[in-house]
Every structure is written in structure tokens, then in C-alpha cells.
Chain A
Amino acid sequence: MSLKELSSLEKALGLKKPNKYSTQGDRKVPVLQTINGQALVGLVTIATHLVQEAKRPELLGGSAEHKAVVQQWLEYRVTKVDGCHKEDIKTILKDLNSYLEDKVYLAGNQFTLADTLMYYGIHHVIVDLAVQEKEKYMNMTRWFDHVQHYPSVRHHLPPVVVLRNRVYTSGHH
């Protein structure tokens, strides 16, 4: 799963030479063998490394604050979203929804690696949501739709139709 993500990320970053990955442990944590013989372990670590390799540091955030926010959501993806229990999914959706209420992307106004990996990680949840649920988590859905249409992000995943077109909103609220 995470290997597909990494290969999509490579394409999105425009890296020419695809890397070779292996996995370790029960959780199939990705491992990247780098040129200098060092092995990098972990999805976030490798993805961060790839971004640097592609010379796209802006995807990791500009200021110290920005970087920390990006790191935080990357960590959230691998600790909270991955392997989450059914009963936690709603909390995650609710929290993301209220967080994204006044933001375009996870780190504010700028697209970052956090958006890409969160999108990959939460895709399977969104696919299964009913229309009503998507509307309930309107901000999160709006973000998701935005990211899936962001140039060259969506590679290995099918697009999700997220919003119902309303002919007329009931408009009392």
C-alpha cells in the first residue's frame, strides 16, 4: 500500500529514476536503500527525503512554524489515520473537518506534502462515505476534492465523486 503511494509521489514530484523499496515488519513499513548505502525507514521519512531529492522544499513548508505544521499532519497520518479503528474514523473526520473550516490546505494556504499523504491515507475512508456523510464533513470533503484534482497528485487511486449538485438550496440556514 505505502509502496504504491511512494511511487505515485515520485511521479508527482517528477523524479525520473524510480527507487527500489522493500518493507520490514508486520506492518510492512517501507524501506528505501539510498545511494550512499544508508537505509531509510518509514513512510514520512522517505517521503520527506524524496521531496528534498526533487528539490521541492516548499512542499515541506517555508517557515519553522509551517514546517512544524506539515510534520504534525504527516505524523497524524501515520499514527492516527493508519490502522485506525472503526470507532475512531468519525472523530478523525470530525476533527479534520473543523480544522479545515478556515483553511484551503492542511498547512494553510499552501499545498504541501501533508496534503498528498493525508489524501492517500484517507482515500479509502472517503470512498465509502455516503453522500450525506460527505455533506456533514463539508470542509474536509471540499479539501479532499481539491487535493484529488491538484495537478499530478492522484495516480494510483480512483477519483471520488464528492458533492451532490443541489438544484436549489433550502437556504434557511
Chain B
Amino acid sequence: MKLFVSDGNPHCVKVLAVLEFTGVKCDVKHVNHEERVVPYLSRPALPALLLPSGTHLFSPNSICQYLIELNGQESSDIVNQWLEWEATELQPAVMHALHMVVLQGKGAETPRVLQGPLSYLDQSLSQRTTLFLTAEMVSVADVVLWAALYPILSDSSLVSGNQTLQLWFERVGMLAACVSAAQTVLQGKGLKAESLKTYLQRQPTTHHGQGQVQGRGTQPCNSPEGDDDDCVLSEEEIQSAAVTWGKGLTDLPMVPERQHPILPQEGKRNVLVTSALPYVNNVPHLGNIIGCVLSADVFARYGRLRGWNVLYVCGTDEYGTATENKAREEGLTAQQICDKYHAVHASIYQWFQVDFDFFGRTTTKKQTEIAQNIFWRLHERGFLLEDIVEQLRCEACQRFLADRFVEGTCPFCSYPEARGDQCDKCGKLINAVELREPTCKVCSQTPVVQSSKHLFLDLPKLEAELEQWLERSTGSGDWTANAKQITRSWVRDGLKPRCITRDLKWGTPVPHPDFSDKVFYVWFDAPIGYLSITANYTDQWEKWWKNPQQVELYNFMAKDNVPFHSVVFPCSLLGAQDNYTLVNHLVATEYLNYEDTKFSKSRGVGVFGDMAKDTGIPSDVWRFYLLYLRPEGQDSAFSWVDMATKNNSELLNNLGNFINRAGMFVSKFFESCVPAMALQQEDKRLLAQVGWELKQYINLMDRVKIRDALKCILNISRHGNQYIQVNEPWKKIKGDETDRQRSGTVTGVSVNVACLLSVMLQPYMPTVSHTIRQQLNAPPSVTGTLLQGTGNFVCSLPAGHHIGTVSPLFQKLESEQIESLKKRFGGQQPKTTAQPDVNAQPATTPASDPAAQTAVNGADAERARELTLAVAEQAEKVRTLKGQKAEKTVIGAEVTKLLELKKQLSLAEGKDPEPVLTKGKKNAQPATTPASDPAAQTAVNGADAERARELTLAVAEQVTWGGNKCNELGIRGETMEV
């Protein structure tokens, strides 16, 4: 049994008190407020109790009741009644009051909120003759109510009167269990606990409607853009913001120029950042870019600004079947393919201003050295096993066939064109040796099954050590929730030995004499790329990679790559026993979709890295929009219309407008010289608001919440715009002396906010950030000072400072421009035009009739209905024929008809016809002739990749670990790519 609690969360006081009170044995684990312990709840719910059966209890009161029940006490009607009252009446009032006192500093108003429930409790107690709520003995109701009231009543100044209540509260509070629970959660400080404040800040604003039944319509409500949940500032916070401001720039050393090679330094925070190695044989799309290299870049840039000693390495992953395949297609050697695409990747990332310290590749001598060294160490320590694997081998081509090189009849549904890893028709995963009538896709000969000896990494032997390390790393580091969850499910299902060798040519050779014609399986090899790429950067690479004491390692990737980084690769390194640096913070994104569909090279849908620059939209704007959309916590979708909206509303009208106005006022009204500032309350208020957002920004960035931190920047410029709007410096400048002074103060404060923004923007939009600093002629030390510690919003452009020439930062994206881009990158599918915009979802008026719904999608409902019937008929016909064991060709013809009907139906319903189906039709030639058209070939492979992506996650959780499942290769191609 495991109890999850978080610091500062007052609900946790209850359960910890009851836990100690009952003496039930249970592990207590402290986690972050955001930790989603209960898998089925979309919002974090703490405390939570995980029972041995795997059931979660997430209601604090039910957890308490359960603990009491384990102790052999039944709860009575009266106990139930108090608990229900606590949950429905007292709790909402307490949370409301805490919010007011702690966050808004409005202690004086708490009695109004709490009076009702407190006097009810007081009266109930005075009517009783017993010492406690329900009896002479303490019951669970006493502890629960005490804990609920603890933060409020421990501060005697807040609520007075209610004498019986006070006595009861003190009596219960004397229980050792209560004292220690209050100590654990709130450090015994009650309301003044800093952790309580942090907790309350993270809570969604509670609706203080006191449980009124709201309108019962179920119209989906559009949550307003950006939760403008303004922080409420106390007087002290405002004053302290003014004090900070007055400090000005310190003489702190500037962020030093980078000197290569960067090596870990004693006494510094040494941060090693890696981004998943993109697979070399394809051009990355926007999803790939935001998923790893760009996210890691923002974090690395931020770290450098913070003065950490950061090294950011990445490179192309070049070995494997997919490369061999591509080489064959393009008529080049594998090495030529790698050279060609490595350059393509490098130039794309350069255009996106991804600032690697080193961008290397995996096909190097260092890779061979390090991979073979790790291999031998694992071998010497007995972590490798041998086993026989059955594989298909083509005698004509003289090689073992990877899954994507075999085709045959599906053993499950008899579809004649099933691939070596999966059937396109029934979707089942296939082990290539199970295919009936297999053929080699290259030469069309029939391959034979051959046994081949392979090496396996003995994961079960390393499991205990892995789990120990995982416990530590996930407990102390910033692992994203999906990373933890995927890892947990892999480990929970038990680890099996995993094949590390392949019968391929293009790979790192296995040095063992018994396996001389084999290479390392790419999942084993590719992550070693991080080490070898660093080794190609500096000979002293071991100072980074064999130095867990001094180095903190951040891995960035998309979620399909998690198991390789959290389970498999760490096992290789742990087994090698060479003091390797293991990942401390595993940061995984979800997926980015394209206009609510998937990026697909084969269908020409989506924007690929090399096309972005042809759009004429600046790299910084691309970065901004991708980061604004960063699939943090859930999938998100790229949309052209939305991109234009965000550019025009956020960049142009909000951020750009503010910075430009601030600068223009200085240059137009004050001859480019920052005016003197005499701060009034209103100005200090703005300083405090901005300072608060800055703190949030740092807080979020430190925990790699890159998208959320970007919102802080936009909030600041929103505050700034309001401030200018209200104070109207352009009017006041024409007024009397006082007015003119006021105009000067507002302008001076605004231009300083603009300067702060330039620094905060640097990780996101480096060029824009640089331009602003140039326009403002900002001193170089701003970058160092403003982001130190928890953030200092100081006056960095003092009165008298001369600024440079101010000009607009952003351009409007016109709707014609966007429409044409949308057409250009939308692909040829008719559905893209029928697809409603994200912003114009039909959901606002929920159509109750399915036909109406289809009509909204711009498709023909009547036709859909006809087709549905036709499909059903045809399907029945096929079933009958199969049942009668009819001629294969006859069935085949009918199946083709059925597929065609289904496709038409999909179109009529306004859905995307399954891509695989379309290809299936296009490819409806005798299975024995391989597709002769190279374009069609790519299309098929493209569709495979798409399919593999869909399945990766599903498979990742249940892949057979043994190497005899050849379908792993198909999956890997995707997993290292993203």
C-alpha cells in the first residue's frame, strides 16, 4: 500500500493524521502537486492511496474511512454525516477562505465566508455532552474536521468566538498524530507555510458559488484564451518589487562567452542537454522539430542565460535498415545517403536557429570504439545471453531480410500483400517467419527460414538495479508525467532479454568473433551516439559522461522514445559498470498533429523542415508558434489559421505593439533618452505584477514547462499594454509639468519592461530578442542580472540612458497568404478543404442527429447512408464466399470491391479515408510483381512508417522483448527518428 502526498496540500494533513492515528502500515511518498497519480483522473488528485489490488482511492475522506476500517472500526451514521458535511459544506468554505487569506491577503474577510459552517459546528458541539464530535473517544470525524480547520484555526486572529469549537479544536490538536501530520505537510506553520501558498497558487480557481446548481445546458464552453488568472498582490509584495527595481543592474559578471570545449566545472551547475537523435533518412517535420531539437534548444539557451554551464549535443542517427533501404531507392551507397541527409538536417536546424554546441553523427570511429567497449564490459560481466532466432533469408540477395523487405500472405486474414511486420488489412502484427508464401521485396524470390545465433541483453538481471535508480531519478528529477507513466508500465510488465544484434551490414560491427557478420541493433547503438558525438566534440568527453556526481543530464524526446531512454539504455550503462552519467530529467512531449490530421510525407501533408523557410515566415515566428503549441501534457495541432491568429494577435498586437510603443515614446517624446521616473503606487503595482510573472517564468522554465513559461512573457506585455493605455503618456506629454513628469515615468517604466521582455524572449526568439536589445541599446549585463536567482526585475535602463533606433518587430500574416500556404501544404486529399477550421468547430451547436453532423462536415449524408448499406451487403457477400471456400481470385475481386466501397463511404462521411486503404488499391497488382514505380514504392514505405508511428506506443507497452519478433525493427525506425 502506498500513500501519495504533496507538501503544503492541506488535504494531506487529514490522511497523514489518520494514518498515524490508526498505526496502519503504509509507504508514504512525497510527490509534486502536479503529479498525476491516479491514471484515470485528468487533474492531479492528491492525496491518493494506491491499494495492493491496484485500486486508487483519491478522496481524502474515503482514504481516512478506509484506514479506520482496516483498524476494525465501522463508521456509524453520525460519522458519515460529519464526513459528508465536511466534504460538501466545510471544505468549499475553507478553500475559499484560504485562497483569500493566503493569496489575496484579505484576512479580514474570512469570518464572512466561514461564519456559517463554524457556528454550525460550534453549536453542534455545545449541544453534545461528549468530549468529541460523536463520542467520548476521538473518531475519524474529529480528525478529519480538525485537519480541515487546522490551517484556519491555528491562526487565532482570523476567527474569534465559537468557544466550544476552540476547545474541541485544541483537544483534538493535542493528539500526537495531528501534531506530526501538521508538521509534515505544513511545517507546523499553518497559514504561514510557504508550501501552502505554492499549493494554492497551483489550484484552478475554485468557484465560490457555494454549490449552487448552475445552468444545466451542456453546451461546450470555450474556455477563454489564456487563463487570465491575475495574481492578487499584497501591499508587501508591491513594496518589495519597488525595492528590487531600485537596485538597478549589479556588477555581476555577464554571461561569459562560450569557450569550446565546454567541460564540467567545479562549483557550477553542469547541465548536459541531449535531444533524441533524428533519423537520417528523412527530412524532419515540424512535429520532429518541436518534439526534441527545438525544445532542447530553448532549455539550453535558458540555462546559459541563467549562468549554468550547459553543453547541448545532438546529431543524426545513421545506421540501420531504413538507411540501406533509402540508399537502394536513390541508387547511392549508405554512406552517401548519410552524408547527404546529415547536411540536410544540419541546415534545417541552422535555419531554425537551434544552437547546438555540437551537432554530430553516429557513423564515426568513436561510435564503434565506445559501443564496442560497452559491449565488452556487458559481456565480461555476464549481462549478455545467446539465443537462436529464426529469420527469413533471401538466397538470391545473400542476406537476411528485415521486415520491411518481405511480403506475403497474412496468416490471420489471408490478405495477399501483408508486410513482414504487419498486415495492412487486418492490422495484426505479424512475425515475418509466419507469413505464408513470403517473397523478397527486392528480387521477388522466395526466402528461406534460417536460424541465426544472436546476443541478448539480460534485462531481468539488471531489473533490480534499474528500479532502484529509477526510484531515485524520477523522485528527484523533472520527469514529465508521460515519461514516468510509460516507464512504469514497462517495468511493471516485467523485463525480458532483448536482442542487441542484427544480420545487417550498415551498422556498428559486433566485435565478438562468433558474431562477426553482425552489427548492433540500432536501439542498442543509437543512444550510445550521445556519448560518441560528445567524444567527437572533445577528447575529454568522459568528464561529462562518466561524472554523475557533477553532471545533470536532461534528455529531450517525443514520448515514443521514452522506454529506450528510461529502461533500455540505462540498463546498458548500468550493466557496463563504468560510472556513467544517467538521465536525471527525462522530458517527453506528446504528438503534434497537422490541421487535425497527421504529418505525412507520402501524402504531401504537412510542413517539413526544409519547406518552412520557403513560406517567407521568419524563423523566429515559426519557433514562437511551435513553442506556443508545444505538445506539453497533451497532443496539439498545427493549424495555419491559428498560426496567423497567434502571429497577429499575440506577436503583433500584444508583444510587438507594447515593445514598439515603449521605444517610440522614448525616441519621439524624450529625444531617445530614458526620462526620469518618479514611481507612484500604480507603477509599483505594475512592477510587482511583472515581477510575479518573471518569477513564474523562472519557476516554470526550471521545471522545463516551456510552453507555460511563454505565456508569462505574453502576460507581461499584456499588463504593459494596459498600463500604457490607462496612463496615456502620449496625451500627458502635452499637458502641464506634472503631467509631463507622469508621462516620463510611464514611458521609462514601460521601456524597462520591454528590456526585460527581450531577455525573457531570448530562448524562444533569439533574433527578435537581439533586435530589441539593439534597438534599446541595452547594456550586455541585462541578460546576466534579470534572470538570476528567482528573478530580479530591476531598472536596467536608468534615466539618461540613450536608446537606438526603434522599428516594428513583426509583420501581419494576411489571410490570403495563409490560405495559399494552407493549399500548398495541405496535401491532395479532398478532405483538407472539407475539414472545418479548428476555430470553427461545429461543436458549439451539438448536432444530435448523426446525419446533420455529417452534413456539417460538408459531406453528403444521403450518399453515406446508401453506401453504408452497400458496404454491409458487400461485406456479407465476402463472408459468404469465404464460408463456401470459394476460389481465391473470386474472393479477392469481391474484397477489392468492398475496399472501394468503404473508401467511398469514408469520403462521403467527410472522413479521411484510411491511407493504407488508398495505397492498397493503388497497389492492387499481382503480389509477385514488386511495385516497379519508385514513387509508389516510397508511398508504400511512407504509409508503413505512418502506421508504425500509430502503433509504436501501443506496441512499446507490449512488444515481445525477445529478438525473434522481427517487427521491432519497423518500430525502431520511427522511434529513433522522432
Residues of A within 8 A of B (CB): 26-27, 29, 38, 40-45, 48-49, 64-65, 67-69, 71-72, 75-76, 78-79, 82-87, 89-91, 94-95, 98-99, 101, 124-125, 128-133, 164, 167-168, 170, 172
When C-beta atoms are compared, the residue in chain B nearest to A98 turns out to be B40
Which partner residue on chain B sits nearest A133 by CB separation? B846
Residue of B nearest to A27 (CB): B211
- A42-B85, A98-B40 known; 8 new pairs, CB 8 Å cut-off, are A41-B81, A49-B77, A64-B66, A75-B61, A79-B87, A83-B213, A130-B847, A131-B848
CB distance from A20 to the nearest CB of B (A): 17
Contact mask for chain B residues 377-398; partner A; CB cutoff 8 A; 1 contact, 0 none = 0000000000000000000000
Whether A85 lies near B207 (C-beta < 8 A) is yes
Greatest chain A CB density within 10 A among B848, B853, B875 is at: B848
B65 adjacent to A71 (CB under 8 Å): yes
Beta-carbon nearest neighbor of A102 in chain B: B40
How many angstroms between the C-alpha atoms of A49 and B66 in the bound complex?
18
Closest 9 CB pairs of A and B: A68-B66, A72-B62, A130-B846, A42-B84, A98-B40, A168-B872, A64-B69, A99-B40, A128-B218
> Within the assembled complex, what's the spacing in Å between the Cα atoms of A127 and B855?
23
Q: How far is the CA of A128 from the CA of B218 in the complex (A)?
A: 6
19 intermolecular pairs with C-beta atoms under 8 Å apart: A41-B85, A68-B57, A68-B63, A69-B55, A69-B57, A75-B59, A75-B61, A75-B62, A76-B59, A84-B214, A85-B209, A85-B214, A86-B219, A91-B43, A128-B218, A130-B848, A131-B853, A168-B872, A170-B906
Interface residues of B in 11-54 (CB under 8 A from A): 39-43, 51, 53
- In the complex, the answer to whether B868 meets A131 with C-beta atoms within 8 Å is no
Partner of A67, one of B61, B63, B65, B81: B65
Let me know if B875 and A168 touch, CB within 8 A: yes
- Per-residue CB contact flags for chain B residues 84-108 toward chain A (1 = under 8 Å, else 0) read 1101100100000000000000000
B contact residues around A170 at 8 Å (CB): 902, 905-906, 911
Nearest opposing residue in chain A for B845, CB measure: A130
Q: How far is the CB of A98 from chain B (nearest CB, A)?
A: 4
On chain A, the residues within 8 Å of B91 by CB distance are: 79
**B223 touches A (CB below 8 Å):** yes
Which residue of the partner chain A has the closest CB to B212?
A83
- On whether the beta carbons of B216 and A132 are closer than 8 Å, the reply is no
Q: What distance in Å separates the Cβ of B965 from its nearest Cβ neighbour in chain A?
A: 23
Contact call B81/A40, Cβ cutoff below 8 A: yes
Asked if B58 contacts A75 (CB within 8 A), the reply is no
Q: Within the assembled complex, what's the spacing in Å between the Cα atoms of A101 and B41?
A: 12
Q: Which residue of the partner chain A has the closest CB to B873? A: A168
- Provide the residues of chain A in CB contact with B847, threshold 8 Å: 130, 132
Smallest Cβ distance from B354 to chain A, in angstroms?
36
* A83 touches which of B53, B69, B209 (Cβ 8 Å): B209
Question: For residue B842, which residue of chain A has the nearest CB?
Answer: A132
Interface residues of B in 219-241 (CB under 8 A from A): 219-221, 223
Judge if B215 is at the interface, Cβ distance under 8 Å: yes
Given the complex, which residues of A lie within 8 Å of B214, measured CB to CB?
83-86
Whether A91 touches B211, Cβ cut-off 8 Å, given contacts A86-B218, A170-B905, is no
Give the total of B residues in contact with A, Cβ under 8 Å. Answer: 61
Considering only residues 861-880 of chain B, those with a C-beta below 8 Å from chain A are: 868-869, 871-872, 875
- In the assembled complex, which residues on chain A have CB atoms less than 8 Å from the CB atom of B85? 41-42
Q: Which residues of B contact A (CB under 8 A)?
A: 39-43, 51, 53, 55, 57-59, 61-63, 65-66, 69-70, 77-78, 80-81, 83-85, 87-88, 91, 207, 209-221, 223, 427, 846-850, 853, 868-869, 871-872, 875, 902, 905-906, 911, 914, 917
Inter-chain contact A68/B65, CB cutoff 8 Å: yes
Which of B61, B84, B219 touches A45 (beta carbons < 8 Å)? B84
CA distance A91 to B45 in the complex (A): 13
When C-beta atoms are compared, the residue in chain A nearest to B211 turns out to be A83
CA distance A128 to B216 in the complex (A): 9
CA distance A75 to B902 in the complex (A): 47
A43 to B88, CA, bound (A): 10
Cα distance, A81 to B81, chains bound together (Å): 19
Complexed CA–CA distance, A42 and B163 (Å): 26
CA distance A128 to B655 in the complex (A): 41
**Contact across chains for B59 and A87 when beta carbons are under 8 A apart:** no
Task: Quote the shortest CB–CB distance from B411 to chain A (angstroms).
Answer: 20
Q: Determine the chain B residues whose CB is within 8 A of the CB of A40 once the complex forms.
A: 77, 81
Whether A164 lies near B42 (C-beta < 8 A) is no
Contacts of A94 in B (CB 8 A): 42
Measured CB to CB, the closest approach of chain B to A41, in angstroms, equals 6
User: In the bound complex, do residue B213 and residue A82 qualify as a contact, i.e. CB atoms below 8 Å apart?
Assistant: yes
In the docked arrangement, what's the CA distance between A75 and B11, Å? 15
* Residue from B59, B871, B872 within 8 A of A72 (CB atoms): B59
Determine whether the beta carbon of B66 is less than 8 Å from that of A78. no
Nearest-neighbor residue (CB-CB) of A76 within chain B: B59
By the criterion CB–CB under 8 Å, are B868 and A167 in contact?
yes
User: Which of chain B's residues have a CB closer than 8 A to the CB of A38?
Assistant: 77-78
Residue from B43, B66, B81, B217 in contact with A65 in the complex, judged by beta carbons closer than 8 Å: B66
Question: When the two chains form the complex, which single residue of B53, B55, B217, B849 contacts A128, counting CB atoms closer than 8 Å?
Answer: B217
Q: Which residue of B lies closest to A166 (CB)?
A: B868
Please name all residues of chain B whose beta carbon is closer than 8 Å to the beta carbon of A87 when the two chains form the complex.
Answer: 221, 223
Quote the shortest CB–CB distance from B214 to chain A (angstroms). Answer: 5
Q: How far is the CA of A24 from the CA of B884 in the complex (A)?
A: 71
Query: Assuming the A-B contacts A45-B84, A78-B87, A86-B221, are A67 and B77 also in contact, with contact meaning beta carbons closer than 8 angstroms in the complex?
Result: no
Contacts A83-B211, A132-B850 given; indicate if A78 touches B84 (C-beta within 8 A). yes
Residues on B with beta carbons closer than 8 Å to the beta carbon of A78: 84, 87-88
The CA of A131 and the CA of B848, in the complex, are separated in Å by 6
- Choose among B41, B51, B58, B850 the residue that contacts A164 (Cβ–Cβ < 8 A): B850
B415 to chain A, nearest CB (A): 14
Q: Which residue on A lies nearest to B41, using beta carbons?
A: A95
Q: Which chain A residue lies CB-closest to B63?
A: A68
Q: How far is the CB of B339 from chain A (nearest CB, A)?
A: 40
Least distance between A131 CB and chain B CB atoms (Å): 6
User: How many angstroms from the CA of A87 to the CA of B218 in the assembled complex?
Assistant: 9
Task: Give the nearest-CB partner of B72 in chain A.
Answer: A64
Q: Knowing A85-B207, A91-B43, A95-B41 touch, does A168 contact B871 (C-beta < 8 A)?
A: yes
Contacts of A90 in B (CB 8 A): 220
In whole angstroms, what is the CA distance A87 to B65 when docked? 30
Determine the chain B residues whose CB is within 8 A of the CB of A75 once the complex forms: 59, 61-62, 83-84, 87
- Taken together as a complex, chains A and B put the C-alpha atoms of A170 and B57 apart, in Å, by 38
- B81 engages A42 (CB within 8 Å): yes
Max chain A Cβ within 10 angstroms of own Cβ: one of B65, B78, B217, B219: B65
A95 & B42 in contact (Cβ 8 Å cutoff): yes
User: What's the nearest-Cβ distance from chain B to residue A112, in Å?
Assistant: 13
Q: How far is the CA of A72 from the CA of B64 in the complex (A)?
A: 11
Chain A residues in 8 Å Cβ range of B917: 172
Residue of B nearest to A69 (CB): B55
CA distance A106 to B59 in the complex (A): 14
Q: Give Cα A109 to B871, complex, Å.
A: 37
Cα distance A136–B790 in the bound complex, in angstroms: 44
Q: Which residue of B lies closest to A101 (CB)?
A: B40
Given contacts A40-B77, A64-B70, contact A71 B220 (CB under 8 A): no
A128 to B219, alpha carbons, bound, how many Å?
A: 9
* Interchain CB contact (< 8 A) of A26 among B53, B87, B210, B220: B210
* Closest CB in chain A relative to B875 CB, distance in Å: 6
Contact call B53/A65, Cβ cutoff below 8 A: yes
Whether B846 lies near A45 (C-beta < 8 A) is no
**Shortest Cβ distance from residue B29 to the other chain A in the assembled complex, whole angstroms:** 19
- Contact partners of B905 in chain A: CB under 8 A: 170
Name the residue of chain B whose CB is nearest to the CB of A64. Answer: B69
A57 CB to nearest B CB, Å: 11
CA distance A64 to B75 in the complex (A): 11
Pairwise interchain contact B213-A44, C-beta atoms closer than 8 A: no
A128 to B848, CA, bound (A): 9
Instruction: Say yes or no: B846 contacts A132, CB within 8 Å.
Output: yes
B residues near A168, Cβ cutoff 8 Å:
868, 871-872, 875
Given contacts A91-B43, A98-B40, A130-B846, are A86 and B217 in contact (CB under 8 A)?
Answer: yes
Minimum CB–CB distance from B777 to chain A (whole Å) comes to 46
